Every structure is written in structure tokens, then in C-alpha cells.
């Protein structure tokens, strides 16, 4: 009998707020790794006696925004609790989190899997503060604490145990990552640890109740999450088949061995002695805030992705690429409003994005604006530029050239039949032997004539017209 894996994910997304969750202390921008330690701290972060937490309204707004986008129920009266544990990177001796009354409950994450739109159920989304960082230095046998991250606002997004494979888990994470960045809730920087995930894994026989789970902590790349989940599923199945049993515990992912390994026994909720934080009032989420966020929600990425396929006729692949981020989707739509959407998609994906990444630029920094790319494509469809010339023109535009001036200087494409005849006739005269061979059945020589004519026109001939007229003139030389 087979085993069925069951996975539930807890994602920690750092909220894009300027200050920390309970104090005006600024949050380090960009990658915190290079900053001097303990420079983004204040008396609240250090937990000096007499300090009190004040909730950050922007963090609450962003939590409401994400909850609305995921179809969660926003709790109008949610509350903060203290979660107690002792570790050097937690100066208060407790973390302020939410336990009984999280700000959002339920909802689903929409995910495209093999072209079909699926939804995965959420349990809750809650606000909490981050801890600091402990850096171990085995050479000097010392540990140091950096509190730059301490107190930073996080959202913990908790799924139901509804994912059935590492592929589903990765697709879920990518969809959630795209959404939080799209909404401006989180910058999504996984290397900096601003979007990280704990994976809960168990296995069971089909139809049986959930098995005992282990939790793999803090994996911060999509690939490693997948590898860690697969390794853990395999470990549990082997253990159970040998007659053993899974112990509920926290495990870590070891990249070197490609295995998970036990870190510590899993605490139960009562070990944390949760209770409502008496320093903080119940958060009263105003109806007006919910309405304002609802009205301001942009078209969500999965809906836009589907619209690109259904209404604009793009392939599912192109629609996915073009909805990777909002800047890209907006850019594409600005081009597609002016020219055929499929051409717009091709030029953006195959030409512009590639060229930009070669020069290390993001699309927002593109020297070629959507209107200009559209005008370039329009020259192509009108026949004033061949596709070869259009590609050259794009390179020139990336160097700062003006499109219309470039087209004027480099001449339009020659499609005019009189002009083409003028070039073709002398070539046929000069190559009488080849003409005779061609007419005698050597079809391959056609390419030779095309090449000669193209050369004479500096590559600017409209290829279809050139071939049409060439066939016509060659046929005219057949002796009656
Ligand atoms: P805790 O608060 O101790 O981390 P929760 O019960 O809130 O535990 O669940 C945390 C995560 O673990 C959720 O994402 C949930 O879906 C997942 N989970 C719970 N039970 C299982 C299980 N048996 N197998 C896999 N995942 C599970
Ligand atoms: Mg947990």
C-alpha cells in the first residue's frame, strides 16, 4: 500500500514598513547582512524597563490588504499575545505574536498547477515581531547577538495541511511570494530572509487520519524547500516501514548531506505560556480601513494571468512569464493596447527582457518605453522594417536612439515592386548560366538569387515581396 504525504506551510513574510512593529525604530532597508550589528535598535527593541509597545498602523493595514486579497475573514477585534521562550536574541523573554485572535482567518491561496487554477486552504494569518539573530563563531567559540531584525513586523501565513507533494508546496510558495510582492506587502527578498518558510510534513495511508508531523525550519529558497520536503517524506516512510514511529520534532535542512536532521523536540502551545499582552489593547480594525483597502486592491496576479490567456490569446507560458511581477504585466498591457498582444508578448519576452538583463537593468529602468516598443512593432507589421532591422533598431533604442530618426536614417524596408525589379533584372542578366540551370530544374539555386538581391539591397528588402517578384522574373525568362 502506498503512502500519502501531507504538507502544511508556515510562511514568514517581512512587512514593508519603515518602522518596527511596536516602536518608531527604523527598519534597515535592503540587505541587512552588510550593516553594522545593533544599529537599528532603540529602548523598546532592547526591552529596557519602562518601555511600552505601540502597534504600527501600517503593519495592520498591510495585513488587512493581504487578508482581503486571499479571501480571509478580517477579525475586527484581534489581539496580541505573548509567546514565551528564552533565547539570547529575544531581549524581552517573550515574542509578541497573535494566538487566539489572529487578524485574518481562513481564505485560500490560488495557484496555477499544470495549467489549472487550484486553491489551497489557509488556516490563519497573524502579525508578530521578528527576533534578533545569533551568530555563532566556532573558531573563537563565541556567539554574538545582532538585534537589527528584532521587532521587525512579520506576517505569518499558515496553510491547512492540504498540500500533497513538494511540487504543490513550491507552486503554493511561488504564488504566495508573487502576491505579497505584487501587493507591496513584502519585498520578497528571500536571500535576506524576508520571505521564509517552515514546512510541516507527515505521511499516512490513504483514508487514515493525519500522521505525526515534523517541522522543517527556515528554509529560504524554493528549491531547498522542495528538496527538504522530499528528503523528509522519504525518511518518514522508511522509518514507518521499518516499524518505527515518527517523533514530533523540529528539524533543520542540511544542504551538504541533502537530509533533514533533528534540532529539538517540538514544543506544544502550552510550553509557550501564551497569554494576551496586557500592555496592548485589542486591535480595533476600522470598517473604513477594510473598505479603503478593498477598493485599492489591484487586479490580482492569478486573475490577470488567466485574462491574458482568455481575453488576449496568450499561451499559458507567456501569461505566466508576463505576470511574474506587476511592473512587467503593466508594461506588457501598455504595449498590447497598441499592437497585437501576441507580438507584444514575443517582443517583450524574447527581445527586450533578454537585452535588459544582459545590461543588468530591470524593466522599470528600461530606456525603451512601452509606447516606443509598440511603435517599433507597428513598423514591423506595416512592413517599413524587416524583422532583422527591427532587432537592430531595438539595440539602437537601448543605446538611447530615437526610433523615428533611426528608421528615417536607415531607410525603410524595400517592398516597392518597381524598385525590386530594378535590382533583380541586372542580377539575372549577370548570372545567365545559373538562370538556365534553375529553369532546367535546379530549384536550389533560388536561394542564390535571393541572397544576391538581398546583398544588393543591403538586407533591406521585404523578403516575401522579394521572393514573389524574383519567381515572377525568373519565370518570364523561360523561353516560350
Ligand atoms: P504550531 O502552532 O504548533 O506550529 P499548527 O497546528 O498551528 O501548529 O500547525 C502549523 C502548521 O502545521 C500548519 O501549516 C498546519 O497545516 C501544519 N500541520 C498540522 N498538522 C499537520 C500534519 N499532521 N501533517 C502536516 N502538516 C500539518
Ligand atoms: Mg509553527
List Cβ neighbours of 295 (8 Å cut-off, separation of 6 or more): none
Question: Could you give all domains of the chain from N- to C-terminal order, each with its CATH number?
Answer: 4-289 (no CATH), 299-410 (no CATH), 417-476 (1.10.10.410)
134 pairs with which residues across the strands?
Answer: 145
Q: Where is 84: in which H helix or E strand?
A: strand 81-84
Among candidate residues 375, 391, 385, the one with its CA nearest the CA of residue 335:
375
289 versus 421: the higher-pLDDT residue is 289
Q: Average the pLDDT over 281-294 and give the result.
A: 96
Among candidate residues 32, 18, 48, 29, the one with its CA nearest the CA of residue 135:
32
Q: How far does residue 226's CA lie from ligand 1's centre (Å)?
A: 18
What counts of helices (H) and strands (E) characterise the chain?
A: 16, 17
Q: How far does residue 74's CA lie from ligand 1's centre (Å)?
A: 21
pLDDT the model gives residue 249: 92
Closest atom of ligand 1 to 160 CA is: 16
Q: How far does residue 271's CA lie from ligand 1's centre (Å)?
A: 16
Tell me the pLDDT band of 74, cut-offs 50, 70 and 90: very high
pLDDT the model gives residue 431: 94
Length of the chain: 480
pTM, two decimals, is 0.86
Which protein residue has the closest C-alpha to ligand 1 atom 5? 158
Among candidate residues 94, 25, 91, 63, the one with its CA nearest the CA of residue 280:
94
The CA radius of gyration of the chain, in Å to the nearest whole number, is: 31
Residues with CB under 6 A from ligand 1: 6-10, 123, 158-161, 200-202, 210-211, 213
Cα 5 to its chain centre, rounded Å, is 26
pLDDT the model gives residue 381: 86
pLDDT the model gives residue 287: 95
SS3 (DSSP) at 431: coil
Closest atom of ligand 1 to 202 CA is: 24
For residues 301 and 332, give the distance between their C-alpha atoms in angstroms, rounded to a whole number: 13
Q: Average the pLDDT over 174-200 and give the result.
A: 96
Tell me the pLDDT band of 220, cut-offs 50, 70 and 90: confident
List Cβ neighbours of 182 (8 Å cut-off, separation of 6 or more): 298, 300, 301, 325, 326
Tell me the pLDDT band of 391, cut-offs 50, 70 and 90: very high
pLDDT the model gives residue 31: 58
96-100, 289-293, 337-341, 411-415: the lowest-pLDDT one = 411-415
Among candidate residues 197, 217, 310, the one with its CA nearest the CA of residue 260:
217
List Cβ neighbours of 364 (8 Å cut-off, separation of 6 or more): 327
For residues 296 and 254, give the distance between their C-alpha atoms in angstroms, rounded to a whole number: 42
- Contact present, 214 and 246 (Cβ < 8 Å): yes
Helix/strand/coil percentages in the chain, nearest 5:
40, 20, 40
For residues 6 and 161, give the distance between their C-alpha atoms in angstroms, rounded to a whole number: 6
User: What is each CA distance from 202 to 5, 199, 210, 216, 268, in whole angstroms?
Assistant: 6, 10, 7, 11, 17
**109-164 per-position pLDDT tens digit:** 999 998 899 999 999 999 999 999 999 888 999 999 999 999 999 999 999 999 99
- Cα–Cα–Cα angle for 357, 363, 366, rounded to 5 degrees: 90
Q: Does pLDDT of 360 surpass 60?
A: yes
**442-480 per-position pLDDT tens digit:** 999 999 999 998 888 777 778 888 899 999 999 998 876
Phi, psi of 131 (to 5 degrees): -95, 175
Residue indicated by cell numbers 539591397: 457
Q: How far does residue 160's CA lie from ligand 1's centre (Å)?
A: 7
Here the cell at position 305 is: 494571468
pLDDT the model gives residue 104: 98
pLDDT the model gives residue 326: 96
28-37, 64-73, 138-147, 356-365: the lowest-pLDDT one = 28-37
**233-279 per-position pLDDT tens digit:** 999 999 999 999 999 999 999 988 999 999 877 667 678 999 999 99
Q: Which residues surround ligand 2, an ion (CB under 5 A)?
A: 10
**8-58 per-position pLDDT tens digit:** 999 999 999 999 999 999 998 765 566 899 999 999 999 999 999 999 999
**151-170 per-position pLDDT tens digit:** 999 999 999 999 999 999 99
| Nearest ligand for residue 199 CA | 1
Cα 160 to its chain centre, rounded Å, is 23
Which protein residue has the closest C-alpha to ligand 1 atom 14? 8
Closest atom of ligand 1 to 266 CA is: 3
- Burial class of residue 182 in the structure, from the number of CB atoms within 10 Å of its CB (0-12 exposed, 13-18 middle, 19+ buried): buried
Among candidate residues 107, 116, 8, the one with its CA nearest the CA of residue 65:
107
Q: Average the pLDDT over 322-331 and give the result.
A: 97
User: What is each CA distance from 217 to 111, 166, 214, 307, in whole angstroms?
Assistant: 23, 15, 10, 37
Return the best residue to mutate from 105, 106, 161 for the ligand 1 pocket (most ligand atoms within 8 A of CB).
Answer: 161
Q: How far does residue 112's CA lie from ligand 2's centre (Å)?
A: 26
Q: How far does residue 200's CA lie from ligand 1's centre (Å)?
A: 6
Which value, to the nearest 10 degrees, does the dihedral of the CA atoms of residues 294, 53, 9, 306 take? 20
User: What is each CA distance from 21 to 6, 26, 88, in whole angstroms?
Assistant: 33, 10, 20
**Pairing state between β 214-219 and 249-254:** parallel
Amino acid at each position: 500500500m502506498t503512502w500519502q504525504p501531507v504538507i502544511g506551510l508556515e510562511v514568514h513574510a517581512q512587512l514593508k514598513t519603515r518602522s518596527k512593529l511596536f516602536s518608531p525604530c527604523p527598519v534597515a532597508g535592503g540587505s541587512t547582512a552588510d550593516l553594522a550589528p545593533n544599529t537599528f535598535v532603540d529602548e523598546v527593541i532592547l526591552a529596557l524597563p519602562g518601555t511600552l509597545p505601540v502597534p504600527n498602523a501600517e503593519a495592520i493595514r498591510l495585513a488587512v490588504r493581504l487578508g482581503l486579497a486571499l479571501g480571509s475573514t478580517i477579525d475586527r477585534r484581534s489581539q496580541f499575545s505573548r509567546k514565551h521562550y528564552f533565547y539570547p536574541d529575544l531581549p524581552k523573554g517573550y515574542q509578541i505574536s497573535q494566538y487566539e485572535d489572529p487578524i485574518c482567518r481562513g481564505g485560500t491561496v490560488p495557484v496555477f498547477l499544470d495549467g489549472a487554477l487550484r486553491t489551497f486552504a489557509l488556516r490563519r494569518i497573524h502579525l508578530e515581531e521578528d527576533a534578533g539573530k545569533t551568530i555563532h563563531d566556532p573558531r573563537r567559540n563565541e556567539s554574538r547577538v545582532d538585534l537589527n531584525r528584532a521587532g521587525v513586523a512579520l506576517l505569518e501565513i499558515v496553510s491547512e495541511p492540504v498540500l500533497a507533494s513538494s511540487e504543490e508546496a513550491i507552486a503554493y510558495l511561488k504564488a504566495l511570494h508573487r502576491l505579497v510582492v505584487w501587493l507591496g506587502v513584502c519585498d520578497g527578498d528571500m536571500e535576506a530572509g524576508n520571505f521564509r518558510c517552515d514546512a510541516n510534513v507527515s505521511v499516512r495511508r490513504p483514508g487514515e487520519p493525519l500522521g505525526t508531523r515534523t517541522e522543517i525550519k527556515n528554509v529560504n529558497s524554493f528549491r531547498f524547500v522542495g528538496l527538504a520536503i522530499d528528503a523528509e517524506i522519504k525518511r518518514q516512510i522508511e522509518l514507518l516501514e521499518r516499524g518505527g514511529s515518527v517523533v514530533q520534532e523540529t528539524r533543520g535542512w542540511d544542504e551538504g548531506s541533502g537530509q533533514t536532521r533533528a534540532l529539538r523536540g517540538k514544543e506544544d502551545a502550552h510550553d509557550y505560556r501564551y497569554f494576551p499582552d496586557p500592555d496592548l489593547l485589542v486591535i480595533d480594525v476600522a470598517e473604513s480601513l477594510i473598505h479603503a483597502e478593498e477598493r485599492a486592491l489591484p487586479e490580482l496576479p492569478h486573475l490577470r494571468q488567466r485574462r491574458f490567456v482568455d481575453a488576449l490569446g496568450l499561451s499559458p507560458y507567456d501569461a505566466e512569464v508576463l505576470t511574474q511581477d506587476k511592473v512587467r504585466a503593466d508594461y506588457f498591457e501598455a504595449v498590447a493596447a497598441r499592437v497585437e498582444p501576441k507580438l507584444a508578448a514575443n517582443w517583450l519576452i524574447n527581445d527586450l527582457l533578454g537585452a535588459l538583463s544582459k545590461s543588468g537593468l530591470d524593466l522599470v529602468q528600461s530606456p525603451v518605453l512601452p509606447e516606443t516598443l509598440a511603435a517599433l512593432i507597428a513598423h514591423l507589421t506595416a512592413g517599413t522594417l524587416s524583422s532583422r532591422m527591427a532587432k537592430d533598431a531595438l539595440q539602437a533604442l537601448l543605446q538611447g536612439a530615437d526610433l523615428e530618426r533611426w528608421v528615417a536614417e536607415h531607410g525603410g524596408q524595400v517592398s516597392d515592386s518597381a524598385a525590386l525589379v530594378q535590382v533583380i533584372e541586372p542580377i539575372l542578366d549577370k548570372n545567365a548560366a545559373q538562370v538556365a540551370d534553375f529553369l532546367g530544374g535546379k530549384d536550389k539555386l533560388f536561394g542564390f538569387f535571393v541572397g544576391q538581391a538581398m546583398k544588393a539591397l543591403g538586407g533591406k528588402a521585404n523578403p516575401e515581396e522579394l521572393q514573389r517578384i524574383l519567381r515572377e522574373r525568373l519565370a518570364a525568362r523561360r523561353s516560350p
